[in-house]
Chain A
Amino acid sequence: MSNDKFRAIINNPNLEYYRKREQLFLAAEASVPEITVGEVARNYIDNGVICGLFEGNAPYRPRYVLPDYEKFFRQGSEYLQLEAPKDIFDAINALLIIYRYVPSITLYPVYLGQIDELLEPFAVSVDDGVLCSLLRMFVINVSRTMPNSFVHYNIGPCATRVGRIILELERELKQSEPNLSMKVDDATPEDYLLSAVATALETGKPYLVNHERELQEWDEFYGIASCYNSLPRGGGSYTLVRVNLRKAALLAESVEDFLEIRLPDVMKALFEIMDKRVDYIINQAHFFEGSFLNNEGLISRERFTAMCGAFGLYQCVEHLSGGLKLGVDADALIIAEKILARMRALIDSHRNPNCFENRFMFHAQSGIGDDVLETAGARIKVGSEPELFEHIKVAAKMQHYFNGGVSDIFVFDRTAKNNCAGVLRIIRAAFKLGLKLFAFNSDESDLVRVSGYLVKRSDLDKARNQQVTLSDTAGLGQQAVDGQNLLNRKVRKLNDGE
């Protein structure tokens, strides 16, 4: 049976060599017996209440790794035989080298660093023309050698030359990879933000991150990786296992039953699974012993956490309340908040000594292609979103429960491109209300935001027709877009005027 599975991958005419190799890795890992968990947890996995997100039966690396690239720049790397970079050429070359050695759940690094802070000190000695050429080379190189939309880099909150050029390049190149987040605080300059808004309306990135809110969860040394995952730099997340709240709700008789009996039971099983996965990575797979990133101090065990994901909150509330709709009914929001508060309290009360501050984080998991009946994270169902201001108010009330990353996506009418200041006004208001992450794009962008990642419309069509695409995420995107009706996300219609 398993031989057939390998052969099916090898003989698939629609897979390019690297994709076959990746799938063979995954198939090999899947052929190892799964980590044993108790009967309750096993049942929750089997009936889909708990979903392991295809991390594999025998995890041999953390899911998300955010190396301390600053330290790498200070000390170079003995393993990679690199001195500390002396100029911008050295610096970019060093990054492009180390990226090949950063493990993750995919074959590519999910975090490329706080690129503006990393490169700005070296940028002083070159003029704009050279800097722009180098950064263009950098982002094109990343896009073509790491063609996966979970590859993610960060800029902000301070304006830098590097950051400004990156925004202009992203606007011009319109690449789905790498993904980009920009941290924003009250001191972030207006013109820098307007450039970010213009870029996002063209390309769906950067996501804007409420830096002040993130600092309530982390020290300054945090990053946004992969698909809106907010994590400590110099570490990351061992694992992300998620709870299908819709399916969990089907096992409860009432809101009270769900909150007091079912949810604690599911979370207990989730913690057991996650504890075992963390233990396996550390003590069975001996990840850290074999890692030069660890041996050279670029990651450390104390900076790793693990993420409890949640999705399908919309349907969970709908089921438990007998049909109330999040975003429409005020009582639905009250139930949603009770659920999130309960989950957060349960997560905060669990201890895992191998994790950053001994605890797990709470993450609004933004969906995979298989989720047809469930809405991502704590979002309002696609197509049922209320008017924007109301949508933001509701999202802000829910986002703050998530200390390990959360997102809501807002689609603007194309005329917003002529009024970036107006869009910025809304973003600033959203942040004042406590929204942690504002993801947005315009309805005519060629890049489609699937859940947390971006895929080109043209690649979606190719994936539908089973053509080979460079983008590693196009296939995932096509399943999700078609299964979840994502192209019908509510567009914020604007007045055409007279």
Chain B
Amino acid sequence: MGNRFLVNKILPMSFVDGPGCRTAVFLQGCNVHCLYCHNPETQRKCFNCGKCVACCRTGALRFENEQVHYLPDNCAGCDECIKRCPNYSSPKTRTLSPQQLFNEVATNALFIDGVTFSGGECSLQADSIIEFAKIVRSHSALSVLVDTNGVMTTAVLQKLARHADGFIADLKCFDSEVHQKLVGCANSVVLANIKLLAEYSKLVEVRTVIVPGFNDNIEEIERCAEFIDELPGTAQWKIIGFRNFGVRGEIANQHHLSAEQLEVFAEIARRKCRKPVVTV
């Protein structure tokens, strides 16, 4: 059996997942559990508990043969199933071969600069991405970007870097202890991987979400800034203010970071980092 993607969602048009207009493909499954995750339903694979089926009012979900079945034509898009899922998953995922995904993306090839894989953590499906990138290369001028949390082995990273055109990598926090609290793991692998990607000239963008109470302090921003400044290449640093949309768990009710606060951090960042610093 060949490679298969487990796809949570395809956004045909995105302006915030790399340069130009891109189709963003959100893959299902993640290897970390960020407190501020905006797409918690992408974190785990469905284990067919069936709890979502009862809450569907339009008959888009059925439970048969111990499995949840999704009927997209009946779906009203209320996302009640996602909110009820105890497993940070979604019953609405699709399984697609790299060729099938390409066929779908290719209908809009004229409108887009490329495809960005996101998630979840898309590097968990690296083999499918590589096969997809090969198809893209032989059939189109589209580029393939990988949006990653940076938590992967060097072997996977090197393999992906040979086939993807670029990477968008999260630097969620420079302080390893805070990173542990925020993400659930240490950050030494992340820092090493970002460095490697920059050395391979594959790093397009570094992203940091400023989360009140975690990394919203000057020292933290300055340390990130110094790290990014020293990276080879021209990757930009995108600093994103925390918003609680979709967030579950202990910081679900945390207030948003204001645009003014975000600009203050961006200014601090620009003092230490000569690379382009943008805010969202």
Contact = CB atoms under 8 A, between A and B. Distances in A.
Interface of A: 387-389, 392, 413, 415-416, 418-419, 421-423, 425-426, 429, 432-433, 492, 494-498
A497 B37 CA distance: 10
A423 B243 contact: no
Chain B interface residue number, banded: 20 to 34
Contacts of B111: 389, 392, 425-426, 429
Contacts, number: 77
A496 B19 contact: no
B12 A387 contact: yes
Contacts of B75: none
A497 B110 contact: no
Contacts of A389: 12-13, 108, 111
B115 interface: no
A372 B175 CA distance: 59
Given A418-B16, A423-B15, A498 B24 contact: no
Interface of B: 11-17, 19-22, 24, 37-39, 108, 110-113, 118, 147, 170, 207, 209, 240, 243, 245, 278, 280
A129 to B, nearest CB: 29
A471 B4 CA distance: 59
B32 to A, nearest CB: 12
22 contacts: A388-B13, A389-B13, A392-B111, A415-B15, A418-B15, A418-B16, A418-B278, A419-B16, A419-B20, A419-B21, A421-B20, A422-B113, A423-B21, A425-B112, A433-B110, A494-B15, A496-B243, A496-B280, A497-B118, A498-B39, A498-B170, A498-B207
A495 B11 contact: yes
B107 to A, nearest CB: 8
B53 to A, nearest CB: 28
B280 A494 contact: no
A432 B13 contact: no
A494 B12 CA distance: 10
Given A392-B111, A422-B21, 14 more contacts: A416-B15, A418-B16, A421-B19, A421-B21, A421-B113, A422-B15, A422-B113, A425-B21, A429-B110, A495-B17, A495-B24, A498-B38, A498-B39, A498-B147
A498 B116 CA distance: 13
A388 B37 CA distance: 28
A103 B113 CA distance: 46
Q: Which 7 A-B pairs have the closest CB atoms?
A: A422-B21, A419-B15, A429-B110, A422-B15, A495-B14, A425-B21, A429-B111
Interface centre among A418, A419, A423, A495 (most CB of B within 10 A): A495
A422 B22 contact: yes
B240 to A, nearest CB: 7
A433 B110 CA distance: 9
Contacts of A426: 13, 21, 111
A287 to B, nearest CB: 46
B232 to A, nearest CB: 24
A393 to B, nearest CB: 9
Chain B CB within 10 Å — which of A418, A429, A497 has the most?
A497
Contacts of A425: 20-21, 111-113
A415 B15 CA distance: 7
A415 B108 contact: no
A426 B13 CA distance: 10
B37 A498 contact: yes
A495 B24 CA distance: 9
Contacts of B17: 495, 497
Nearest to B111: A429
Nearest to B172: A498
Contacts of A494: 13-16
